[in-house]
Amino acid sequence: MKIHEYQAKEILARYGVPTPNGRVAETAGEAVKAAAELTLPIAIKAQVHVGGRGKAGGIKLARTTDEVGSLASAILGMNIKGSVVRKVLVESGVDIRQEIYLGLIVDRASKHIVLMASAAGGVEIEEVAAQTPEKILKVSLKRHLGMPAYVARQTAAFLGLPPAAGRPFAAIAQGLYRAFIECDCSLAEINPLVVTGDGGLIACDAKMNFDDNALYRHPEIAALRDEGEEEPLETDARRHRVSYVKLDGRIGCLVNGAGLAMATMDVVKHFGGAPANFLDIGGGAKPEQVVEALRIITADPNVNTILFNIFGGIVRCDRVAEGILIAQQKLNLKLPIVIRLSGTNEELARDMLKDAGLIAMPTMSEACKKAVEISQR
């Protein structure tokens, strides 16, 4: 799960990371009011989850209080890569001497939390990694050692920080680490961590992503979710515990199992079609899940064909077929439905579906091919 910059800064501030004085505003009026308590120049920053908002014009600097209102109203409502700006962060400007990158991630390859730091801050770290990887320091942090002070010192030395910044830097690195562990992050980064004109350190931008599997033990973080940033159908699906990702094709796919669901999309593409979505109804393909899944898929107006791919396994196919027929009636579906069911009682299931006028195919490839053919008619 992702959160906004202002939320990440609030969390990090609780862990002793210094951040600029700022307020969130949802209207230009609120922004002007907030500015009265801040010092000029004032940064106005779009609060959206997508990256690259600076380049898209979502970050502006107001030199006068008068400018705050006009800049805020220009940014609010702006569409940045599909995200509409509903909030801006209004912040006291900072005297920037140097911009540093400091981040922690769960590194899948090494199975450690890895600290990454670079003196080339202020740009996306992926860019630095691609162009000048030697400018990035990576340190694997052993879980039982945490973030030792010496690692912070080594990092400060790599970054070439002034000696006086050593202790504040260690406090920031250790605060970031504690936040990472205590909040179950998958990523936490400060970019840029600014060295100010007088040698101080301040986190001017922050990003935190959380492990969805751990949200159950952090209700206060789960409550920070901004559903306005999500595809509405994906929000709907998540609430019904259906795993769904919207794409832009015409074939609505319902599959049991995530790997098979991806493979089904790929095979649809292989035969020249375009999947409308990823959808995993779970290994068991329970009837009530089928109803919810069909409702969500058919709410997408692009969908002109529905493709089921169910590998029955232990589940009985006739019961899945029953669920599909109930769902079709309940939702009064008129769209063509192609179904592949494989497993226990599959012949019985295919007969039931054919009797109801649905297209039952014996294999995954044949079903995908048929769905592509129908969707292109």
* 113 forms part of the interface with other proteins (CB under 8 A): yes
Residue of 239, 241, 270, 330 that binds other proteins (CB under 8 A): 270
Of residues 12-41, those binding other proteins (CB under 8 A): none
Q: Which two tokens stand for residue 355?
A: 């009797």
Of residues 139-178, those binding other proteins (CB under 8 A): 143
Catalytic residue flag (residue 229): no
Intra-chain end-to-end CA distance of the chain, in Å: 39
* 132 forms part of the interface with other proteins (CB under 8 A): no
Q: For other proteins, which stretch binds (CB under 8 A), given 18-26, 114-122, 251-259, 296-304?
A: 251-259
Q: At closest approach, how far in Å is the CB of 257 from other proteins?
A: 3
* 106 forms part of the interface with other proteins (CB under 8 A): yes
Residue of 213, 223, 332, 357 that binds other proteins (CB under 8 A): 213
* 212 forms part of the interface with other proteins (CB under 8 A): yes
* 275 forms part of the interface with other proteins (CB under 8 A): yes
Residue of 311, 319, 335, 356 that binds other proteins (CB under 8 A): 311
Taking CB under 8 A as the rule, which mask of x and - marks residues 39-78 in contact with other proteins?
A: ----------------------------------------
Residue of 243, 302, 304, 345 that binds other proteins (CB under 8 A): 243
Which residues are within 8 A (CB) of 305 and not within 5 positions of it... i.e. 6 or more apart? 250, 251, 252, 335, 336, 337, 338, 371, 374, 375
* 123 forms part of the interface with other proteins (CB under 8 A): no
Taking Cα atoms as reference points, which of 141, 40, 30 lies closest to residue 91? 40
Q: At closest approach, how far in Å is the CB of 289 from other proteins?
A: 13
Residue of 59, 119, 120, 181 that binds other proteins (CB under 8 A): 181
Q: For other proteins, which stretch binds (CB under 8 A), given 7-15, 59-67, 115-123, 275-283?
A: 275-283
Catalytic residue flag (residue 101): yes
- Of residues 5, 99, 189, 292, which has the active-site annotation? 189
Q: At closest approach, how far in Å is the CB of 85 from other proteins?
A: 19
Of residues 183 and 337, the one with the C-beta less far from other proteins: 183
Do 53 and 80 meet the contact criterion of CB atoms below 8 Å apart? yes
Residue of 98, 191, 256, 375 that binds other proteins (CB under 8 A): 256
Of residues 30 and 292, the one with the C-beta less far from other proteins: 292
Residue of 23, 135, 138, 269 that binds other proteins (CB under 8 A): 269
Please write down the HEC assignment for all residues of the chain: CECCHHHHHHHHHHCCCCCCCEEEECCHHHHHHHHCCCCCCEEEEECCCCCCCCCCCCEEEECCHHHHHHHHHHHCCCEECCEECCCEEEEECCCEEEEEEEEEEEECCCCEEEEEEECCCCCCHHHHHHHCHHHEEEEEECCCCCCCHHHHHHHHHHHCCCHHHHHHHHHHHHHHHHHHHHCCEEEEEEEEEEEECCCCEEECCEEEEECHHHHHHCHHHHCCCCHHHCCHHHHHHHHCCCEEEECCCCEEEEECCHHHHHHHHHHHHHCCCCECEEEECCCCCCHHHHHHHHHHHHCCCCCCEEEEEEEEEEEEHHHHHHHHHHHHHHCCCCCCEEEEEEEECHHHHHHHHHHCCCEEECCHHHHHHHHHHHHCC
* 342 forms part of the interface with other proteins (CB under 8 A): yes
d(CA 101, CA 122): 7
Angle at 44 between CA 39 and CA 47, to 5 degrees: 135
Q: For other proteins, which stretch binds (CB under 8 A), given 56-64, 161-169, 196-204, 240-248?
A: 240-248
Residues binding other proteins: number (CB under 8 A): 48
Query: Rule CB under 8 A: which residues touch other proteins?
Result: 106, 108-109, 111-113, 126, 143, 181, 184, 186, 211-214, 216-217, 243, 245, 247, 255-263, 265-270, 275, 278, 280, 283, 311-314, 342-343, 363-365
**Catalytic positions:** 101, 189
